[in-house]
Amino acid sequence: MDYDLDIIVPVYNEQDNILKTLSEINKLLSINYRIIIIYDYDDDPTIKVVNDNFIKKEIIIIKNKYAGFNGAVKTAFEILNAKAIILYPADDHKNFNLINEMFKKFNEGYDIVCASRFIEGGSYKGAPFLKRLIVKLVSFTLSNLTTLPTRDATNGFRLFSKEIIEKFTIESKRGFTFSIELLAKAHRSNYKITELPEQWPVRNYGKSKFKYSSIFFYIQWYIYILLTRFKNEKKN
């Protein structure tokens, strides 16, 4: 069966978050979708919660073939069976309606739809000070020194068209860096990109998967965007 949208939800000990997340998605979405849950290890209690509460054909559970969040995304991309794909955080209990809005933008012809904390209607409160400072600095410089059409370049919550996923090979090896990589490559190739406001969710349960060591991997694509800001390629 072909779907309009595949929703990737990577999990790692998200047993306290996943029930509400899946329940709200199932309740609010008005499109033909499939949820792909990617887990890292067999005893992750998240999987028991899903199996005990959701027996639905539109939710599938797959073990990560690689490692970490980046590997989970690559695993999901390999079974992509929809017109578009969204990366949705398992602990995000505030932005379910944004999925429908993102898909509307996709139907308007956009290949990437970014959730943005730094436009009117968005917010970024509750994150650790150092993380917040770094994210704001990167976003400010890229939105003011380049033509990148989003003010929140580091945000991993995005919709990508199937064409984007199939066209570009992901070189990133860690964390959420694949998202800024695809954004940079798609922009350079003149794909249509837009953004919608997001209310950044403060995590109520579990631990954040963000690691400050991943900043070095973001820097690679930060420099790439700056160095190629005047170069554009035609879509094939």
Structural domain includes residue 216: yes
pLDDT at 211: 57
Report how far residue 36's alpha carbon sits from residue 58's, in angstroms, rounded to the nearest whole number.
8
* Residue 128 lies inside a defined structural domain of this protein: yes
Residue 205 class from Cβ within 10 Å (0-12 exposed, 13-18 middle, 19+ buried)? middle
In a domain, 232, yes or no: no
Number of structural domains, the chain?
Answer: 1
pLDDT in tens, 111-143: 999 999 999 999 888 777 787 788 888 878 887
Flag whether 234 is in a domain.
no
pLDDT score recorded for residue 14: 92
Domain annotation covers residue 51: yes
pLDDT for 127 equals 72
What digits encode the pLDDT tens for the residues 170-216?
Answer: 888 777 788 889 999 999 999 999 999 998 765 554 555 555 556 66
Residue range of the domain that includes 182: 3-227
User: Are 46 and 18 contacting, i.e. CB atoms less than 8 angstroms apart?
Assistant: yes
Residue 51 near residue 68 (C-beta atoms within 8 A) = no
What pLDDT sits at residue 34?
93
What pLDDT does residue 172 have?
Answer: 84
User: Please, is 144 exposed, middle or buried when counting C-beta atoms within 10 Å of its C-beta (0-12, 13-18, 19+)?
Assistant: exposed
Task: Report the C-alpha gap between 5 and 83 in whole angstroms.
Answer: 6
Q: Is residue 72 part of a domain?
A: yes
- Residue 199 belongs to some domain of the structure: yes
What's the CATH code of the domain at 209? 3.90.550.10
Please name the residues in contact with 141: beta carbons below 8 A apart, sequence gap of 6 or more.
none
Place of tokens 């580091």: 154
Q: Is residue 233 a part of any domain in this protein?
A: no
Percent helix, strand and coil across the chain, each to the nearest 5: 40, 20, 40
Distance, CA of 48 to CA of 59 (rounded, Å):
14
Question: What pLDDT was estimated at residue 231?
Answer: 61
State mean pLDDT over 133-158.
85
Residues contacting residue 201 through CB under 8 Å, at least 6 positions apart: 89, 91, 92, 93, 94, 95
